[in-house]
Every structure is written in C-alpha cells, then in structure tokens.
Amino acid sequence: MTQSAATPEPSGPENRYDVVLIGAGIMSTTLGSLLTELEPNWSIGLFEQLDGAGQESSDPWNNAGTGHAALCELNYTPRGKDGSISTAKAQGINEQFHVSRQLWSHWVDNGTLGDPRTFINSLPHISFVWGDENAQYLKDRYEAMKAEPLFSHIQHTEDHDTIGSWAPLLTGGREPSQRVAASKFHDGTDVDFGTQSRQLAAHLQQAGADIRYGHQVTGLSRGSDGRWVITVKNTATGKKLKASARFVFVGGGGGALSLLQASGIKEIAGFGGFPVSGKFLRTTDDAVAGQHHAKVYGLASVGAPPMSVPHLDTRFVEGRRSLMFGPYAGFAPNFMKSGSFLDLPLSVRPHNIGTQLGVAKDNRDLVTYLLKEVTKSQRKKMEELYRFFPNAADDSWEMITAGQRVQVMKRNEEGKAVLQFGTELVSSADGSIAGLLGASPGASTAPSIMLRLLERCFGGLVDTWKPKLEAMVPSYGRLLNEEPQLLEELSASTAKTLRLDG
C-alpha cells in the first residue's frame, strides 16, 4: 500500500479512522497491538459482533490451545516418496513460533500483556505411536529432526518404562509386548489465546483505540475518495452506523470469507470455505488430569485430514488444569460457532462454484471420513481414547463442542481446485484491505502472519519501522536454524520472560 505516515485522522462522532479491524480474535488484536506500537498516532476502530474479545475460535475451549511449534505434530514431517523424512514444513512453523515467543515476551516486558502464566504454560510436547511401521517412521523422524539446530534437543525412546515416566497414562494397562515409540521435547507450550486476545484488546483500548463490542459489520464498499466505507449494525439496538478507513483488516475468522466477498476485491475470486467442526472429550477429574503433564500427538487415521490428528492434552484455562482428547470431526454448515446454517450455501458464488465442485470431486476421502465421524457412536469415540489411555474410565469424560474451522478451497498455481489446511492471507493489489482465511497452525503463528501482512500492505513503511520491529522481535528477518547461537540466546531469554523455565 502506498501509505505514508500522514497526519492522523480523528476518530469520534464521524467514525473516520486510519485503520479499521473487524473482529476481536487473536489476529485482529495482534495486528492492532503491532500498529499501535509502530504508529501510535494512527486512529484505530475495532468492531466485534460479540460482547467481548476472543470468544469465537480464539476462545480456549474452542481450540486445542497447542502452541504449534511443530515439535509433536507428525503431519508437519511427512515421509516423502523416496522414503526420507522432510523437516522443511516443521522448520518453517518452528521459526514462526519463535517469532511468537519473542513478540509475546516483548509485550510482557512493556506491559501490553499481563502475567504470562495467565496465557502460556510450559508443557512437554510428545509424539506417540504404536506398531512396527509407525515406530520406524518415528525413529527416522527423530534422526532427521535431530540434525536441525531447531530440533536438536529432541529425545526418543521405544522403552515402555521411559514412556511411562514421561506420560504414565499412555502405558498403564497397555500390553507390554506392543511395540510403541515416543519422541519428546521438553519446551512445548499450552496457550490460552482467548485470554491473550482479551489482554491485547484491553491494552489497545487503553492506547486509544475505539473498540465497539456488539457491533456487526454488515457491509464493506469503496468510497469515491478511495477510503473503505464500513457499514456496522449495533446488535442490541439494530441501529446502523457508517465508518471509514484508509486500511481495513478483515479478522473475522469464519466470518472473513463473506466480508471479503462483500468488499468486491478481485483477489477473493475463486476462494470458498468448507467448515469442519471440532469436538473433544474433556475431564476435569483431578485424579486423572493430575497424572498427565504433556501434549501427546499421534497419527491421523488413513484418509483423515491433518486437523483430525488425535491428541491427549493437558490444558490450563483460567488457572485450572484439565485433560482433553480429540478432536472428533463434525459437520455443520455454519462458519462460526455463533454463525448461521446459511453460511455455507451463501458463500457459493459464480466465481467459486467451480472450485467447490472440483474440491468435492477430488476429496472423496474427506467426505467419507466426515460421514464416518458424524455417525460414530459414543462407544467408538471412547475406543479411540483407550488406544492412547488404555485405563480411561468412561464416566470421567464429557464431550464438548469446540470451534468451527473453515478450510480454504482455492485454485492452486496450476489452476486445480484444492482444499488447503493452512491459513491464507488475502489482500487487495493496493494493500488497502486484507483478510485471513483458514485455520492451522493459526493462532500460534498470529505474530508472523501479521508481520507478513504489514510487509505486504504497508511495504513503504517497513524500512522506517525496522528498528522498532527488531526491538519487538530480535530475530526479525533472520532464520534461527541458521544461527544456533542466537537460537540458544533467544530460547533462553523468552523462556525466562514467559516463565517457561520451571
């Protein structure tokens, strides 16, 4: 965007802003907090349809709270056709999580975020598999990861007793002759992105942002002066207001696709969304939860999408420990938990119907998987838990409904319709509007995604901002895997600030 640090425009009765953020999830609140620090004089308006921040996908019970650093998620280290294990994707995600740790540390230091224990907790990340083929895969993955500085501290074992000392619930009641394998990183995390969103939103408000909860954005159009005109409805009174901005971020989560479509930018053409809902089994029984202190990720079953990888997770929410297992996939056509059954049908447009049909034709496995998941009995769901935790008692667990993931459907570079499991930043050619589609690895990498947005939409200003960006994220623009000394220093300093060291 050819933005200059022009005279700030006043916010107030006429609702003119430099920047409007739509939604108060982790993405918008991260971007708003970055911009407030980079350009303290810019006026920021934020409209959120719910009555507070971080209540949709970013709410701790609507996601799994894993600080995705690619330490235990096996879908980030696939075996290639030549039999070798690729760590490229895992490296990329781990680098991004280091950026998150640095930015969050900076915000703890300067008071933007509160006590780190309120939103991040140290928790070993473990990968766990059984059977010969899977155990061999995990061994090969261990060798491949150990060679990279980012992952050189990985531990690995096939010994039942050692695994039992890492996570006793995995081995109690398990057949001793079963071949099992586990890899462990001691420096994983559990993150409460809802609390983080609320702390960032509160700080934004203190810094002067005009935050309006209970306000739903119903329209987006381009004014004759080139500014974006945002139509907003007060959800309590039904009263409408107009706002305008030089830059708009559509951080609407599952609501982003329809808002970007409403903006009419040509870059959204061809994109569609496919909702998959998540459910988890949860226990708050201290006698069970107290025996497990880890996030343990397994392998997805054949044909299942990556977000269905089963995991047994310790969670810390509002100071309380619990244990969660899942996810079980479900299907509902709404794009947000608070959305409507019409979200999916209304998202179908002439420009994306070909993409949707192409994806439906090429993803029969996914459709079959979803059908099986939706019709799975409670007994079958418990059987999946027993494979991880053989001694689980049925009556300690309740099923909770988590959030909706809207997977991106788009045309790839060869023009083929594809279903994508990552996130996609969509922006207009002039950089005056951008939005985020998709889910994974999502919240954990919000700082990197928002830094990428700044480079894409405010390219002309990034050089001026560089000293500030480097103060916020000391490794900004560098790869820690290539600088082991810096990696060690930053891992230690962020662990100290975020209180992850004990």
Ligand X SMILES: Cc1cc2nc3c(=O)[nH]c(=O)nc-3n(C[C@H](O)[C@H](O)[C@H](O)COP(=O)(O)OP(=O)(O)OC[C@H]3O[C@@H](n4cnc5c(N)ncnc54)[C@H](O)[C@@H]3O)c2cc1C
Interface positions with ligand X (CB under 6 A): 22-28, 47-50, 55-58, 62-66, 68, 193, 216-217, 251-253, 255, 259, 278, 327, 402-405, 436, 439, 441-444
Q: Where do we find the tokens 């059908």?
A: 371
CB of 166 to ligand X, least distance (A): 20
CB of 258 to ligand X, least distance (A): 8
Burial 56-83 (b: 16+ CB within 10 A, else e): bbbbbbbbbbbbbbbbbbbbbbbeeeee
CB of 304 to ligand X, least distance (A): 14
CB closer to ligand X, 146 vs 376: 376
Picking from 271, 280, 304, 374, the residue whose alpha carbon sits closest to that of residue 332 is 374
Residue type, 139: K
Provide the token pair at 22: 């739509």
CB of 452 to ligand X, least distance (A): 14
CB closer to ligand X, 21 vs 289: 21
CB of 240 to ligand X, least distance (A): 13
CB of 84 to ligand X, least distance (A): 28
DSSP state string for 319-333: TEEEEEEEEEEE--S
Q: Are 439 and 405 in contact (CB under 8 A)?
A: yes
Terminal Cα-to-Cα distance of the chain (whole angstroms)? 44
Provide the token pair at 481: 């895997």
Residue 222 β-bridge partners: 228
- Cα–Cα distance, 233 to 431 (Å, whole number): 26
- Cβ neighbour number for residue 116 with a 10 Å cutoff: 19
CB closer to ligand X, 189 vs 363: 189
CB closer to ligand X, 402 vs 472: 402
CB of 65 to ligand X, least distance (A): 5
CB closer to ligand X, 56 vs 95: 56
CB closer to ligand X, 116 vs 278: 278
Picking from 142, 151, 144, 143, the residue whose alpha carbon sits closest to that of residue 95 is 151
Helices (H) and strands (E) in the chain, counts: 15, 19
CB closer to ligand X, 358 vs 403: 403
